[in-house]
Amino acid sequence: MAHLALQGANRPDEGSLGAPEIFPEEITVEEEIGSGSFGKVYKGRCRQKPVAVKILHRTFDKRTLLAFRREVKIMSKIFHPNICLFMGACLLPEKPCMMVTELLPKGDVESLLHDSKVTLSLFLRMKMARDAALGMNWLHCSNPVFIHRDLKSSNLLVDNNMNVKVCDFGLSQLIPRDHKVKDRQNAKGTPLWMAPEVMMFQEFNEKCDVYSFGIVLWELLTRQEPFSEYTSFEVFKADVCHKQVRPIIPADTPSSLSILISRCWSADPNERPSFEAIIGQLHKVIIDVSIRDEAARDFWTIHFIKREEVHWPEFLEAFCKFTGLPDDSMRERNIKSLHALLEPKKDEGGAEAVSIEQFGRLIDWFGLKKSKSDDGGEDSIFDRMREMVQKTWFHGEITTQEANQKLSTLPAGTFLVRFSSTHNGSYTISSLPQSGGKVKHQRVSYVEGVGYTLNGETKPSLEVMVRDANDLLIPCPGSKYQSLFVEQSTEMMGYE
């Protein structure tokens, strides 16, 4: 890898920039990773730390230099977990103008969205949206108000934990609170994300950033490029500014998200919500995209709003009360079944935590409402979970590859039932055909209150479906759930 060592001169006077100052010789520049408003951005090192280095273009005028200095001044005053950390700058005469920030290894949101190889659940994308909104809210709550002026998906950077941070303040502007400004010559920003009032050289305030965020939110929803149908800027400008044309929101979008996007890119800036209000709405959106069942959404909203993970004891107490789990002889088995199916992950402190995503999938698989049982009574979600994990053929959340490995060396007619790895709420029957050949995988759709459907035929339960099938003969051994109740069973048999 080629390295460009920047040799410098004497240390500038401390405090002259109003920002941390860095020697040119302290910076080593490596490969280019992007470009900003005034220059290119490189991966580099500074004081033994991997960093991002923005270097001003070699040829620039006085106006560009002043703007670059203004960006340094602005970034040196902003500190928030969702804003790219400014670490210092070098603005020595006769030397390259450089700005050093933290390095965010995952790159920018735009690149991730358009990379089909990158898996990004809608839940994760909405968390990314909320991160961006948190950063923007910090800017807009400052006094004077920071207006970003160039908020777009490529100016949102991602760290190794998929946290998002706002970057590139090259066009940012400070205005007194409750004031408006107007561009006199050139409209600043990127047209596809630019608010109509800015494009039309009208007065604007921080709500222009909210419009931009609406376009970003649509990108996060669809993983598509906005306004890709336009080839003429004049036609695009006329449609957006005068006909109020906006990207099409997919019909299956959760209503809470669809309404939020529409409000953000409203033609009337006064109708656009503040970022504080956007954050509050995104909490609800995150619940809506993670949990499809309305009653389950209400449960999470009442007990755990603003949280994506909850410690297991706290979740268990709330969920048992919500479902009315009786304190009877089956209670311990029911709780063991719930724990095994949720598979709480340990957080940084080592405590088990239940995620909103896993809870939503659990409800999709088992349903929250009571249903009729085979004996004419009613089954609760705990009954369905307990009975499922006791089936020797049920293997839960394993992948297609893992199912193939389990079955490949076993006799024809061997089978297992697992959660579908591609369709929430569905199951998959993986089996070795009696006629021989490779493992066959058949998806079983589940609709609460209706039943389980395979090849157009609906059964009241998976147990009935398995029992009635002619080619499902031998349950595949090795289910991780079979050890759940062994200790309890031996105690009941009188063993020590």
Q: What positions carry a catalytic annotation? A: 150
User: Is the omega angle on the peptide bond into residue 50 within 30 degrees of 0, that is, cis?
Assistant: no
Coil, strand, or helix at residue 144?
Answer: coil
User: CA-to-CA distance for 275 and 277, rounded, in angstroms?
Assistant: 5
80 burial level (CB within 10 Å; 0-12, 13-18, 19+): middle
d(CA 59, CA 97): 11
Tell whether residue 117 is among the known ligand binding residues. no
Interatomic CA distance for residues 268 and 476, integer angstroms: 62
Amino acid in position 349? G
CA distances from 104 to 52, 82, 107, 152, 339 (A): 8, 12, 6, 17, 36
Residue 396 near residue 479, CB atoms below 8 Å: yes
- DSSP labels, 209-255: HHHHHHHHHHHHHH-S-TTTT---HHHHHHHHHHS---PPPPTTS-H
Q: Is the distance from CB of 419 to CB of 394 less than 8 angstroms?
A: no
Give the CA diameter of the chain. Answer: 89
Strand partners, 345: 353
Q: Which helix (H) or strand (E) holds 126?
A: helix 122-140
- Say if residue 265 is exposed, middle or buried (CB neighbours under 10 Å; 0-12, 13-18, 19+): buried
**Tokens (6 digits) for 176:** 């007194």
Name the amino acid, one letter, at 37: S
Residue ranges of alpha helices (H) inside 248-342 are 255-264, 275-290, 294-304, 312-323, 331-342
Annotated binding site: 54
Annotated binding site for ATP: 54
